[in-house]
Amino acid sequence: MESPDLLGLTASLTSSTLIFAVVAGLMPRLVGDEPNPVVGIRTKATSSSPEAWQLAHQIAQPLLRRTVWTAVAGLCVQAAIGVVTGFGSVASAVASTVVCLAVLVAMLYAALKGNAAAKSLRR
């Protein structure tokens, strides 16, 4: 059973997943060597010094790369489920929700690890 509402949910969550993946992929290239007000893990600890900023992003970089790969794998699985069951199906909506949440959690984990590294530098 296909539903336009579920199709809309699937499309919006897929778009969000793609945006998260692009941000995670580009952030290591855009952050720079010193704290900035636009891009990066911007917390009190990471903004305290250029060293803390660099360490936080150095620690987060491999985790952000894994975030991108999580998105790629999840979107492939999501596409396969959509092809089999229909993109407006409950299964497709659930898959898109799970993939989006997994990518968001992976991004947050990278930021938390980077922030923790920056905090440890201050001690």
Q: What is the pLDDT of residues 54-70, one digit of tens each?
A: 999 999 999 999 999 99
> Which pLDDT score is estimated for 36?
85
Number of helices (H), then strands (E), in the chain = 3, 0
73 three-state secondary structure? helix
- What token pair was written down for 55? 């360490």
Q: What is the pLDDT of residues 2-37, one digit of tens each?
A: 788 999 999 999 999 999 999 999 998 999 888 988
SS (H, E, C) 11-36: HHHHHHHHHHHHHHHHHHHHCCCCCC
> Are the beta carbons of 103 and 67 closer than 8 angstroms?
yes
Residues 92-104: what's their mean pLDDT?
A: 97
